[in-house]
Amino acid sequence: MRILLVLAHPLEDSFAAAVARTAREALEAAGHTVDLLDLYAENFDPRLSKAERGGYFDLPYDTSAVADIVARLKAADGLIFVFPQWWFNFPAILKGFFDRVFAPGVAFSHDAGGGRIVPQLTHIRLIYALTTTGSPWWLVRLYMGDPVRRLLKRGIAAFCSKGLNFRMLSLHDMDRATDAKRRAHLDRVRKLLSAIR
């Protein structure tokens, strides 16, 4: 399987970067091809331009400004996102990735009858999210309602593909995580990704 591994963290020595390295190693050891898209290292501009928004309903939609990333997305069989949750949401650069790359004609198309959108990422077999959050699990899940999981699973995954395998693995209370807890999380990442067939 060809996996597009998307990393959204500005620091090269972050725990998210360690998760991405672990993910890449586990996937490659299992025989998968990995295309690492480090949004910060590749200087991805998350800002949806005036022209992009203005042409949102044009046929065809103009994705020329992100054509290289669109090609990488179209070549993938699976997507794995590695990112921290900040303020119970995606980092801005990852939100911009969805805004600019998961565009009409790429991730979905508009139903000619109006209203509904039609999934276009039908070649994507899995979407996994490997995240961290500074908050404890009960605050994220019980108080906030797990917004990132809902956005990814019910929004992005469900509207852009059908029947894919969705998984999310989070390390909660990251700000107080011991080295042992971090190593245990990396082991969970390794085990999860080694099982992909």
Q: Which residue has the tokens 């990132």?
A: 148
Whole-number pLDDT of residue 110: 83
pLDDT of residue 144: 86
The string of pLDDT tens digits covering residues 148-173 is: 999 999 999 998 998 899 999 999 99
Determine the Cα–Cα distance for residues 80 and 141; give it in Å rounded to an integer: 21
Could you say which residues of the chain have pLDDT below 70?
none
pLDDT for position 3: 98
Q: Note the pLDDT of residue 39.
A: 98
How far is it, in rounded angstroms, from Cα 93 to Cα 98?
9
Which segments of 30-178 does DSSP mark as H helices, in order?
A: 50-54, 67-75, 92-101, 137-138, 147-150, 158-160
- For position 47, what pLDDT does the model report? 96
